[in-house]
């Protein structure tokens, strides 16, 4: 990834020994083969750079001790780029001193910066209650103020409601939203959507100023395909719909990854599959605010927390387009969740000690990626989307069309005991107004979760029909839905019926 500071991409190689070496062990002479070895990196940033991702930290100017530049190659201002600090009520900028300090520090330490954040219901300061026009002014000012010195910007933060409803939030700025046709979403051309309109503005500014800054949407409790107990993660599914629908404006999605013992905020076994399905849309996925409660499942701050960190880092490493991890602070004592001791260091005030969690993360990063051959780096499964900004970003109403045929194909991402199936529905030579896909699951396989479809049946012969926003498909065009299951789905053959 071009944004990863290149000076850290080198590998530290230990000196080559002769082809064999004689070792004296317990009085016995052992002949040891000595193939050339690569020494493990000793900092998070070097290990991450070797694996092709950044490893970052949230910081404020008072926390810029030397460990920040030594251990991390990405920096997110924890509070200093929020509208409450830098926005006036008209969308102009103010008080950018701390943000400048952080950007300058990052630049001189060869770190990538993530701007955090523009459109958010919280910490809005004087921007609270602003119109879309004022938000757009602020978006333009913030993007151009730092330009390419900021590699990623969180354009929209925490747009989705709590408690796994899958709904948007109802407080400002989401009070700007209008569901004009009353179909329950904000995706239609006649609807108003603060997410869409903010990203359209941001993409225009990026293009007009020839910036390389990538535009991200960020949220919490969207990490797993499921939540505790195996229920579908409706918040994650809603985010998936948003990213899929507005893919032409959105470059990256941030899973905040504040893991705690809330049923919606735990580490699930399907974290990797969820990262993968977003990556399959062609966006970069980042874990943007990682901290892990020491009291998740085993009440073990030592090895238990370290193991959990290891799992999360591995899930990212196993998806080629998961290109960065950021921990939300350096030491437990300085964290917004200090009592839960969720970070990689103890100590504080510039004097830090590494925890078992640190060692686990470093070790896992040093193992590098183990990317599924179905998703090689640099070969998007979705075709690249034109960066141009069309005036109408959403699905336009289409007049009724005669019935026509469709076809369906499936791609599987499988692991031991489970799978995610992504099904592509393609209209034939005429447009279709609805579709239904049938397939037969092998014995023992069960559907546990699905998105962008209404599923009937969970085992054996199952059927998936379109939902309101994806039934209409133009001639020769495609739409996708997905489902997750237990067991194995190898060999399933979908058949499509158009309506």
Residues in contact with ligand G3I by the rule CB under 6 A: 78-79, 122-123, 256, 289, 336
Backbone φ and ψ for 292, nearest 5 degrees, come out as -130, 115
Q: Quick one: which of 415, 402, 407, 392 has its CA closest to 490? A: 415
- With respect to ligand G3I, which residue has the nearer C-beta, 122 or 495? 122
Which residues partner with 454 through β-bridges?
465
CB of 77 to ligand G3I, least distance (A): 9
Q: Which is nearer to ligand G3I, 105 or 336 (CB)?
A: 336
Nearer to ligand G3I, 256 or 268 (CB): 256
Q: What is the largest CA-CA distance in the chain?
A: 87
Phi, psi of 105 (to 5 degrees): -60, -45
Q: Is 289 a catalytic residue?
A: yes
Which of 78, 289, 334, 364 is flagged as catalytic? 289
Task: Say if CB 421 and CB 463 are below 8 A apart.
Answer: no
Choose between 71 and 289: whose C-beta lies nearer to ligand G3I: 289
Q: Which residues pair with 202 in a beta bridge?
A: none
Bridge partners of residue 188, in order along the sequence: 395
Selected catalytic residue, list 71, 158, 223, 364? 158
Report the nearest approach of ligand G3I to the CB of residue 124 (Å): 10
The nearer residue to ligand G3I, 258 or 424, going by C-beta atoms, is: 258
* Dist CA 239 CA 99 (whole Å): 29
How far is 444 from 134, CA to CA, in rounded Å?
Answer: 55
Q: Tell me if residue 158 is catalytic.
A: yes
Which residue from 248, 259, 79, 253 is spatially nearest to 158, judged by alpha carbons?
Answer: 253
DSSP state letters, 37-74: -BPPPSSHHHHHHHHT-EEEEEE-GGG--HHHHHH-SE
Q: How many CB atoms lie within 10 A of CB 6?
A: 10
Residue of this chain nearest to ligand G3I (CB atom): 336
Helix (H, G, I), strand (E, B) or coil at 365: helix
**Closer residue to ligand G3I, CB minimum distance, 328 or 451:** 328
Q: How far is the CB of 202 from ligand G3I (least distance, A)?
A: 18
Closer CB to ligand G3I, 256 or 479, in the complex: 256
382, 282 contact by CB (below 8 A): yes
Closest CB 284 distance from ligand G3I, rounded Å? 19
User: What's the rounded Cα separation, in Å, for the pair 31 and 248?
Assistant: 59
Query: Taking the complex as a whole, how short is the minimal distance between the CB of residue 172 and ligand G3I, in angstroms?
Result: 15
**What is d(CA 336, CA 354) in angstroms, rounded to the nearest whole number?**
19
DSSP assignment string, 240-307: HHHHHHTTTT--EEEE--EE-SSTTSSPPTTHHHHHHHHHTTT-EEEEEEEEE-TTSSS--TTHHHHH
Q: How far is the CB of 3 from ligand G3I (least distance, A)?
A: 21
- DSSP 8-state code for residue 8: G
Smallest gap from Cβ 194 to ligand G3I, in A, equals: 17
Q: At its nearest, how many Å lie between ligand G3I and the CB of residue 163?
A: 16
| Of residues 58 and 242, the one with the C-beta less far from ligand G3I | 58
By annotation, the residues acting in catalysis are 158, 289
């Amino acid at each position: 990834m071009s944004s990863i500071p290149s000076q850290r991409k080198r590998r530290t190689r230990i000196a080559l020994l002769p082809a064999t070496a004689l070792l004296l062990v317990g009085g016995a002479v052992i002949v040891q083969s000595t193939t050339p070895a690569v020494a493990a990196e000793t900092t998070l940033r070097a290990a991450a750079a070797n694996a092709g991702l950044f490893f970052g930290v949230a910081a404020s100017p008072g926390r810029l001790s030397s460990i920040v530049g030594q251990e991390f190659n990405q920096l997110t201002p924890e509070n200093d780029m929020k509208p409450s600090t830098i926005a006036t009520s008209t969308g102009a900028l103010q008080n950018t001193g701390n943000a400048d300090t952080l950007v300058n520090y990052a630049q001189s330490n060869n770190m990538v910066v993530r701007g955090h954040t523009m459109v958010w219901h919280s910490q809005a300061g004087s921007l609270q209650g602003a119109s879309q026009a004022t938000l757009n002014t602020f978006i333009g000012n913030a993007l151009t103020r730092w330009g390419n010195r900021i590699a990623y910007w969180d354009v929209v933060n925490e747009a989705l409601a709590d408690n796994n409803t899958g709904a948007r939030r109802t407080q400002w700025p989401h009070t700007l939203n209008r569901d004009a046709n009353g179909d329950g979403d904000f995706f239609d051309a006649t609807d108003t959507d603060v997410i869409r309109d903010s990203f359209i503005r941001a993409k225009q500014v990026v293009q007009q100023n020839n910036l390389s800054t990538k535009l991200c949407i960020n949220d919490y409790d969207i990490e797993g395909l499921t939540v505790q107990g195996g229920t579908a993660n409706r918040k994650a599914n809603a985010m998936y719909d948003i990213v899929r629908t507005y893919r032409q404006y959105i470059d990256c999605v941030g899973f905040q990854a504040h893991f705690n013992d809330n049923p919606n905020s735990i580490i699930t076994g399907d974290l990797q599959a969820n990262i993968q399905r977003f990556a399959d849309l062609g966006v970069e996925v980042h874990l943007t605010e990682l901290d892990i409660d020491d009291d998740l499942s085993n009440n073990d701050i030592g090895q238990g927390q370290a193991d959990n960190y290891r799992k999360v880092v591995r899930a990212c490493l196993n998806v080629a387009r998961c290109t960065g991890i950021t921990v939300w602070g350096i030491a437990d004592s300085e964290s917004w969740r200090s009592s839960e001791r969720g970070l990689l260091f103890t100590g504080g005030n510039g004097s830090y000690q590494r925890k078992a969690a640190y060692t686990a993360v470093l070790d896992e990063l040093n193992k590098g990626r183990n990317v599924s051959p179905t998703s090689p780096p640099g070969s998007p499964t979705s075709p690249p989307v034109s960066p141009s900004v069309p005036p109408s970003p959403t699905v336009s109403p289409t007049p009724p069309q005669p019935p026509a045929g469709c076809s369906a194909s499936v791609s599987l991402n499988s692991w031991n005991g489970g799978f995610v199936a992504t099904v592509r529905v393609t209209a034939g030579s005429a447009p279709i107004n609805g579709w239904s896909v049938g397939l037969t699951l092998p014995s023992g396989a069960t559907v546990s979760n699905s998105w962008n479809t209404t599923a009937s049946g969970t085992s054996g012969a199952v059927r998936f029909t379109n939902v309101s926003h994806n039934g209409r498909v133009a001639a020769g065009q495609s739409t996708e839905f997905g489902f997750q299951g237990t067991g194995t789905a190898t060999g399933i053959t979908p058949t499509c019926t158009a309506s």
